[in-house]
Structure 1
Amino acid sequence: MHGPVSPGWLLVVLCAATGAYCLLRMRSAVEEQRRTAGGEALMGFGMAAMAVPAAVAAPPRWAWLGYAAVFGAAALRSLWAARTDRHHLHHLVGSFAMVYMAGVMVASPGHHGHGGSGTPLMTGVLLLYFAGYVLRSGARLLPVAAVGMPLGEGVRALGTGTRTVGWGDRPELARACRLSMGIAMLAMLVTL
């Protein structure tokens, strides 16, 4: 997770920006947006904090234990929520990946970014999952032929009328944020 400084800072900025956008989505009038935005904001800011280059600030052991505790609690919440909403299974896997990476850093604090610190099988399984997630999320962002009115212009059809949709309620932006976090998770897992 703590490899070269420049890519580390790019990850920090990407994840923090994604977390900030997810916080804005929590103010949405759309219930589905609000329901998942809090967990995604936590994930974005947590990933940003974990991606800070070790050359700048090497977290103490207790910080990694704190990450593991916070994301362990998030995993339990996602497990509970997955009973009624399948989307929370992805949050469960993401939270588990964060607990796993924090655990790797607790177990081998002197090997940040040098590989070989995590369990190769577990790291490989998580890499495969997130690679598939990134490919699927990227494919969902591809434009499709619209029938009738284009929804990508900030307008959503409501029965026979239309209304302007705020940029915080646009599903394609939420998907782009999820894609960004998936790519960041891949980058963080590769350096284990």
Structure 2
Amino acid sequence: MPFPAVFSAWLLVLLCAVSGAYCLRRVTRAGGADREARGAAAGEALMGFGMAAMAVPAGIGAWGAQFLLAVFCGVVLHALWLLRAGVHHAHHLVGALAMAYMAYPASLEPTAAAGHGGGAGLPLVTGVLLLYFAGYVLFGGARLVAVGGGGQPVAGGPPARSAELARACRLAMGMGMLAMLLTM
């Protein structure tokens, strides 16, 4: 893998890990106050760390890809559980399904790098996911810019700043998802 590709892959790992860490911080700061917000932040933290693991350039081997596939299937179940609180959690489900979709081909090939050329997915499914995440990133970016400083409070921080950081983390993970889907 050429140096620019390795460097950008490590930047993606860093971006996803930092996003996951921030979401984990939101979980711990929320305490017992808002159970739904804690559950959503926990799902986002797990996705961030899982995306970071999948983006490692050297790959994590077939056993690692199988482990990630199992984790993302668990995240799918968690996202389905969150859906009972409202359809606004559908993005968690789409993200979890996308990660499981990317981990599956890598889990089948013993020498495959997890998520990176570890087998191609179905072009139609990959295309639909690319369109979804491209739209999510464009819409989320426009919304983040439009909000400016008047965000809604998010558990675990000053209202406007915390809400903007949470949106920025979601946007960063959406861009990471888009980048990983482009490698399929």
Equivalent pairs counted in the alignment come to: 173
Match of 2:30 in 1: 28
> 1:33-87 deviations in whole A, cap 9, x for unaligned?
4231100000000000110102xxx322111111111110110121122122222
Which moved further from structure 2: 132-141 or 25-34?
25-34
Give SS of 1:189's match.
Answer: helix
Distance in 2 separating the partners of 1:144 and 1:102: 35
Distance verdict in 2 for CA 1:166–1:90, change over 3 Å: same
| The structure with more helix, counted as a fraction of residues | 2
Match of 1:188 in 2: 180
Q: Is the 8 A contact 2:39 2:82 kept in 1?
A: no
Distance in 2 separating the partners of 1:142 and 1:19: 22
Q: Which runs of 5+ in 1 are unaligned?
A: 157-164
Which residue identity is paired with 2:178? Answer: L
Q: Is the 8 A contact 2:62 2:109 kept in 1?
A: no
Distance in 1 separating the partners of 2:146 and 2:160: 19
Match of 2:56 in 1: 52
Higher relative contact order (CA 8 A, sep 6+): 1
The ranges of structure 1 where at least 4 consecutive aligned residues each deviate by more than 6 angstroms after the TM superposition are: none
Residue 172 in 1 paired to residue 176 in 2? no
Match of 1:162 in 2: none
Q: Tell me how far 1:120 sits from its aligned partner.
A: 0.8
Which residue identity is paired with 1:171? Answer: A
Which residue identity is paired with 1:120? Answer: P
Match of 1:99 in 2: 100
Which residue identity is paired with 1:67? Answer: L
Distance in 2 separating the partners of 1:169 and 1:142: 13
**Aligned with residue 139 of structure 1, among 142, 161, 167:** 142
Distance in 2 separating the partners of 1:172 and 1:127: 24
Give SS of 2:46's match.
Answer: helix
Q: Is the 8 A contact 2:109 2:119 kept in 1?
A: no
Q: Which runs of 5+ in 2 are unaligned?
A: none
Q: Is the 8 A contact 1:28 1:168 kept in 2?
A: no
Distance in 2 separating the partners of 1:60 and 1:108: 9
> 1:78-130 deviations in whole A, cap 9, x for unaligned?
11221222222111111111111111212345565459722111111111111
Give SS of 2:30's match.
Answer: coil
Which residue identity is paired with 1:173? Answer: L
Match of 1:160 in 2: none
The alignment's C-alpha RMSD in Å is 2.6
Which residue identity is paired with 1:105? Answer: A
